[in-house]
Amino acid sequence: MSTKEERRQKVIEVLNKARSMELQAIHQYMNQHYNLDDMDYGELAAKMKLIAIDEMRHAEAFAERVKELGGEPTDHLSKPVAKGQKIDVIYRYDAGEEDDTIDVYNQFLLVCRENGDSISVKLLETIIDEEQAHFNYFDAVKDHIGNLGDTYLSRIAGTSSSTGLAPQGFVITGQD
């Protein structure tokens, strides 16, 4: 039987692995966001930006739980960012990434459960639901590009890249 401290360290380890995957996803999706914007696929760029923001919330949530457990949140990226992807590659790649993430997070959830941390189990359950929503979206766009090709993309070209969100940040919102 492992000690409480040993169990806690195992949970911190998987939460930090998850955080490093989120940090990589943030940078990956930001990279794709500005490339899609540059290609003038505004609607796709806007959704990609919103998904990058989701991943930032995930990275923060994992860090907050790591801190609660007395650990140090990692700033390590799980792998390098893939750059210069063509549009058909982007959506195949991202659907694969989300599918892998769901699988890995389910493994991490079991580690948290085995080590008696129900709070981290709940956190992972919530985040897995959101990764599923990301997968569903990426998979749908991937299918549209595969099935409709230029017919689909010509509808997207030139659309607005507005996210519909008021821009937020320390200076813009005037918080002090």
Q: What Rg, from alpha-carbon coordinates, does the chain have?
A: 18
| Of residues 11 and 61, the one with the C-beta less far from Fe ion | 61
Residue 5 CB, shortest distance to Fe ion, in Å, is: 28
Give the other-Cβ count within 10 Å of 155's Cβ: 12
| Of residues 4 and 35, the one with the C-beta less far from Fe ion | 35
Residue 60 CB, shortest distance to Fe ion, in Å, is: 11
Residue 51 CB, shortest distance to Fe ion, in Å, is: 6
| Of residues 55 and 117, the one with the C-beta less far from Fe ion | 55
Q: How far is CA 43 from CA 16, 70, 141, 164, in A?
A: 33, 41, 11, 11
The letter for the amino acid at 133 is A
| Of residues 117 and 131, the one with the C-beta less far from Fe ion | 131
Length of the chain counted residue by residue: 176
Site for Fe ion, rule CB under 5 A: 22, 55, 58, 131, 134
Residue 105 CB, shortest distance to Fe ion, in Å, is: 8
C-alpha to C-alpha distance for 9 and 122, rounded to whole angstroms: 18
Give the other-Cβ count within 10 Å of 160's Cβ: 10
